[in-house]
């Protein structure tokens, strides 16, 4: 692989990771707004879902494809920080896959009049914990990419 191709992949990888992470970081503010506003809560949640579906998820897919391509072309296949990053990426994919149906259920519940507050509160807690897990996992992957620590 030429240096130009590698640097292009690296740039796309970094930009995609920034877009995905930036989108996820804003979610807490949107989630708090949705919880505080029962009238517009379902619309706010729909916006979060659109941000995920149209921005964050595609960005993470591009980052994963670029990162894997760079890894297989330049780095040894047993590089610890890359292996941990890939495992965390699989965990993130599983968490993200579970997040979608919960989000759809939360949107349905908040759209009802009157909303079912106890179910909404339970979903809000679960989704907030999921958001924290996803955000912390992405933060760890970003740390590993930048610092490339020797893990074993």
- In three-state form (DSSP H/G/I as H, E/B as E, the rest C), the secondary structure along 15-66 is HHHHHHHHHHHHHHHHHHHHHHCCCCHHHHHHHHHHHHHHHHHHHHHHHHHH
Q: Which two tokens stand for residue 9?
A: 């992949």
Q: What is the model's pTM? A: 0.86
- Count of structural domains within the chain: 1
Q: What is the full DSSP assignment across 99-137?
A: HHHHHHHHHHHHHSSS--HHHHHHHHHHHHHHHHHHHHH
**Looking at residues 82-108, what average pLDDT do you find?**
88
pLDDT for 19? 96
**Does the residue 109 lie in any domain?**
yes
Domain that holds residue 17: 3-147
Burial class (CB in 10 A: 0-12, 13-18, 19+), 115: middle
**Does the residue 64 lie in any domain?**
yes
**Does the residue 152 lie in any domain?**
no
Task: With beta carbons less than 8 A apart as the criterion, state whether 45 and 104 touch.
Answer: no
**Does the residue 86 lie in any domain?**
yes
pLDDT for 118? 77
pLDDT for 67? 93
**Does the residue 36 lie in any domain?**
yes
Mean pLDDT, the chain, integer: 89
**Does the residue 28 lie in any domain?**
yes
pLDDT for 38? 79
**Does the residue 19 lie in any domain?**
yes
Least confident of 18-32, 54-68, 111-125: 111-125
**Does the residue 51 lie in any domain?**
yes
The rounded percent of the chain whose pLDDT value lies above 90 is: 50
């Amino acid at each position: 692989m030429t240096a130009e191709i590698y640097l292009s992949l690296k740039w796309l990888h970094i930009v995609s990771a920034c877009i995905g992470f930036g989108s996820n970081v804003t979610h807490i503010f949107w989630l708090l707004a949705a919880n505080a506003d029962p009238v517009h809560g379902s619309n706010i949640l729909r916006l979060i879902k659109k941000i995920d579906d149209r921005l964050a998820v595609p960005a993470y897919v591009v980052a994963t494809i670029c990162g894997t391509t760079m890894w297989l072309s330049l780095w040894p296949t047993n590089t610890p920080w890359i292996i941990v990053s890939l495992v965390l990426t699989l965990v993130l994919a599983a968490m993200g896959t579970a997040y979608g149906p919960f989000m759809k259920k939360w949107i349905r519940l908040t759209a009802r009049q009157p909303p079912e507050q106890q179910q909404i509160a339970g979903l809000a807690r679960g989704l907030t914990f999921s958001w924290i897990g996803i955000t912390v996992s992405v933060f760890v992957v970003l740390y590993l990419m930048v610092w490339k620590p020797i893990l074993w």
